[in-house]
Chains A and B, each alone.
Chain A
Amino acid sequence: MSSFDLAVMGLKNLLRRKARTILTVLGVLIGTASIVVMVSLGLGMNKAFEQQLESYGSLTMIDVYANNYYVEGQTNSDGQVYLDDDTINAIEGIDNVEFAIGFKRFDSKIYAGKYESYTSIKAVDFDKLALMGIKLSEGTLPTGEFKNEVLFGFYAKNYFYDPKSRNPYQSPPVIDVFNTKLEMLPTSQYYEGKRPKGFILNVTGVTSELDYNYANDVFMDYDTFLKLKNDFERKNKTTDQNNGGDTGPKGSKGSTTKENKYDEMKVSVNDIKYVQDVQDQIKAMGYEAYSLTDALENMKQTSGLIQAILGGIGAVSLFVAAIGITNTMVMSIYERTKEIGVMKVIGAQLKDIKRLFLFEAAMIGLFGGILGIGLSFGISLIINSVLSGMNGNTGYYGPAILSDIPAWLALSGMGFSTVIGLVAGYYPAVRATKLSALEAIRTE
C-alpha cells in the first residue's frame, strides 16, 4: 500500500468518525497548549532575567580584583597578586578574551561655580574605554581632541551641592556639564575659604540612563589624571599629610615593589559561553573574579526548576490526551474489527494495517498539536498584553515579556504531539494486526 493511499484512507477513516476525532483532537489540543504555554512562561522568565541582568551590566564582562586587596602592607606574602599592566597583558593572553581594562578610583573634588561635589575620578585608559560599548545619552566618548576630557556618569551630575546653603543636599542643582565651567582638584581635602587652583575639565559625554553600571562615575584618562595629580601635589606640598587612605600608585615614585595600579579590572569575553572558562582561568591566576554569569547560572537553575514544574503540569494533561488517543484507537479497532478482517483477507499486509492505525493516531496528534500551538499563541498574546500591561508602571526593570514562544518551541510542540500520537497509537496498531481475520469475517 503506497503512503499516499494510506494517508487518504486514514484521513477518510478519521473524517468518518468526526465527533470522536474532534473530541480526541481537542484533548491533544489542550494538552499541547498547556505544555507549550507553561514552557513559554518559563522561557519568558528566562528572557526577563537576561534582560534584567543586561541592565545591570554586560553578561560578557568579568570583574577582577586582587585577592587580598583589603590586607595592604603584607606585600611579601605568598600568592600576593597585583592589578597592573602586567596583569592586563596576562589576562589578554587568555583565549577568547577581547580586552582587559583597569580602573582606579582617586579622591577628587569638582567645582561648578558655587556648587561643589566630592565625586571621585575613575582613572582609566581611554583607548580601552572606547571598547566597552558604553551607551551615552548625550555627547560623545572622549576623543583626545581636548585637554582634560572626562566622561560623566548620568547620575554623577546630581552630586553637586551648595556648601553655603542651609540645606545643601535638599534640592540638587541641575548642572549642564557641557556648558558649565568645571574645575577639578585631585584631592578630597576640605578647604575653608580659599582653595588652590584646580584643573578645568572638558566633558565630552554623559552615559545613558538605561545603564546603571557607570551612573556614578566620572571617567578620566589614567595618564592625564596622574599628571594632573602629580602637578597638583608638587604645587601644594603641604596638603600631603591628609592623603592617608589612598596615596595613588607608588610605582611612579620609582619604587620597585609591586603595587596595585588598579583597584578593579573588567575583562571582556567574546562570547557568553566562554565567560565561565575565562573566569576560572583568572581565578587560577590568584585573582578574585566575578561575572553576571554566576547570577545568570543561579537564575537559570531556578527558572529551569520552575520550567520543569510548569512543563510537568502541562505534561500531565498531554499524558491524559495520549491516553485519550489510545482509547479512541482501541474503540476504533473494536468498531472496525470486521473491516480489518476483510482487509486482511483481501490482501492487506500486516504492515499496511499497522501503518494505517499509526497514521490515524499520529494525525490526531498532529492536528491537536497544530491547533494547540495556535491556541498557545493566543494565550501567550493575552498573557503578555494583559499582565505586562499591569506591570508597566513598576519601572523599567519589570519584564516586558512574560510568555515567549520561539519558533523551535512551536515546531517541537507539534512534533512532540505527533510523536505522542504515534506512541499512543502503537499499542492499538499492534493489536489491530494481531486481530484474527477469521474472527473478523464471521457472519453471525
Chain B
Amino acid sequence: MIEQTSELSSQKTIETAPKDIVIDIKELRKVYKVGGEKVVALNKIDLLIYRGEICCILGTSGSGKSTLLNMMAGLEKPTKGTIQIKDQAMEKMSEKQLAIFRQKYIGFIFQSYNLLPALTALENVAMPLIFRRFNKSRREKIAKKYLEMVGLKERYKHKPSQMSGGQQQRVGIARAFVGSPEIIFADEPTGNLDTKTSIEVMHIMWKMAREKNQTIVIVTHDPEVALYADKVIHIRDGDIQSIEVRDGNDVYEKYIKPYEENYVEI
C-alpha cells in the first residue's frame, strides 16, 4: 500500500503541468456473498485518473476489472472504500442522484452494444439527449454529427438488426459521446468484434476522446486494446499489479501507428 501511494505521488511529479484529478479511488473493496461464501472481487484498490487520460484496465476474466468499472459508474456499491468522481463521493449517492450524475458526466459503451432494437441508429444516438430534454430537431442534428464522426453517415435510418457488429458498436460509441460527457466508460468494447473491426472501433474512440480531452476508462482483456491507452492498469485477483504510464503525446507515434500499420500489412 505504501509502495503504491509513493508510486502514485512520484507519477504526479513526472507531469510537467498539474492535472485535474477526475477519478480518485481509495482503498476500494468489494466482497460478494455467493451462497454463504464470501468472494473477494476487489481487495484493495487505490487509483487516480486524470482529465483527458485514456485508461485501460487490463485483466483476465474474474480479475475484478468489470466490478471496478461498475462501481466507478455507480452501478454497484463498494463494500468498503471511496470513489470520488469530480469530487463527488459515488458510494454515498442515492439511485436518483446517481442517475442525474450519469446523465451529466458519464457516457457508457457496452460489450454487446445494447442498442434499443426498435429504434433507428439516429434515434439510438439521440436517446441520451431525449433525457436531457433537447428538442427533436436539435438532438437529431447533434446525433447526425456524431454518426458522421463514427463513419455511419449513410446509416441513420437503419435498425440495429440491419447493421454489423462493428457498425452497431460505432453507433454505441456515437451514443456515448453524443452528450459530450467528461468521462466515458467502456466495458470490453471490442469483446464481440474481430481484430480489424476492433482496430476501427478503438481508433474512433481514441480520436474522439483526444479531440475533446475526454477521459476514457476501458476495461478489457485484450492487450492490443491497451496499446491505445495513456495509462494501463494491470489488475489480477482483485488487486492492481502494476500501472504503466505513457506520455500521452507519443502514444500514437510509438504504439498505435505501428500497430495499425502492421496489421494492414498482414
Contact = CB atoms under 8 A, between A and B. Distances in A.
A343 B114 CA distance: 10
A346 B127 contact: yes
Interface stretch (A181-189, A313-321, A347-355): A347-355
Nearest to A346: B128
A169 to B, nearest CB: 87
Contacts of A443: 110-112, 188, 191
A352 B131 contact: yes
A342 B75 CA distance: 11
B38 interface: no
Contacts of A346: 102, 107-108, 127-128, 131, 175-176
A20 to B, nearest CB: 15
Contacts of B176: 346
A441 B118 CA distance: 17
B229 to A, nearest CB: 22
B64 interface: no
B73 A345 contact: yes
A12 B130 contact: no
B260 interface: no
Nearest to B130: A5
B116 A339 contact: yes
Contacts of A438: 70, 75-76
Interface string A411-444: 0000000000000000000000100111001010
Interface string A1-29: 11001000100110010000000000000
Which of B100, B128, B131 has its CB near the most chain A CB atoms (within 10 A)?
B131
B95 interface: yes
A349 B103 CA distance: 8
A1 B131 contact: yes
Contacts of A343: 116, 127, 131
Contact of A2 (B112, B118, B133): B133
Interface string B176-206: 1001000000011001000000000000000
A219 to B, nearest CB: 77
A443 B187 CA distance: 10
Interface in B101-150: 102-103, 107-108, 110-112, 114, 116, 118, 127-128, 130-133, 135-136
Nearest to B126: A5
Interface string A114-126: 0000000000000
Contact of B110 (A1, A339, A352, A441): A441
A352 B132 CA distance: 11
B128 A347 contact: yes
Contacts of B114: 338, 342, 441
Given A5-B130, A438-B70, A12 B99 contact: no
Given A342-B114, A345-B73, A438-B76, A350 B133 contact: no
Interface residues of A, number: 25
A105 interface: no
B179 A347 contact: yes
B131 A347 contact: yes
A348 B96 CA distance: 10
A349 B100 contact: yes
A349 B116 contact: no
Q: Which of B73, B130, B135 has the most chain A CB atoms inside 10 A of its CB?
A: B130
A344 interface: yes
B195 to A, nearest CB: 20
Contacts of B103: 347-349
Interface in B194-243: none
Contact of B75 (A16, A345, A347, A348): A345
Interface in A21-52: none
Interface in A301-359: 338-339, 342-350, 352
A133 B39 CA distance: 93
Nearest to A439: B75
A436 B76 CA distance: 9
B130 A1 contact: yes
B99 A348 contact: yes
A437 B132 contact: no
Contacts of B188: 443
Contacts of B111: 443
Contacts of A344: 99, 102
B102 A345 contact: yes
Interface centre among A13, A347, A436 (most CB of B within 10 A): A347
A349 B96 contact: yes
B103 to A, nearest CB: 4
Given A338-B114, A437-B75, A1 B127 contact: no
A1 B70 contact: no
Contacts of B75: 345, 436-438, 441
B222 to A, nearest CB: 15
B102 A347 contact: yes
A260 to B, nearest CB: 81
A9 B116 CA distance: 12
Nearest to B107: A346
Nearest to B67: A438
Contacts of B100: 349
Nearest to A438: B75
Contacts of B133: 1-2
Interface in B81-104: 95-96, 99-100, 102-103
Interface of A: 1-2, 5, 9, 12-13, 16, 338-339, 342-350, 352, 433, 436-438, 441, 443
Interface of B: 70, 73, 75-76, 95-96, 99-100, 102-103, 107-108, 110-112, 114, 116, 118, 127-128, 130-133, 135-136, 175-176, 179, 187-188, 191
Given A1-B133, A2-B135, 5 more contacts: A16-B118, A345-B102, A346-B127, A346-B131, A348-B131
Q: Top 8 nearest A-B pairs by Cβ distance?
A: A347-B103, A438-B75, A347-B131, A347-B128, A342-B114, A345-B108, A346-B128, A443-B112
8 contacts: A2-B130, A2-B135, A12-B118, A343-B127, A348-B99, A433-B95, A438-B76, A441-B75
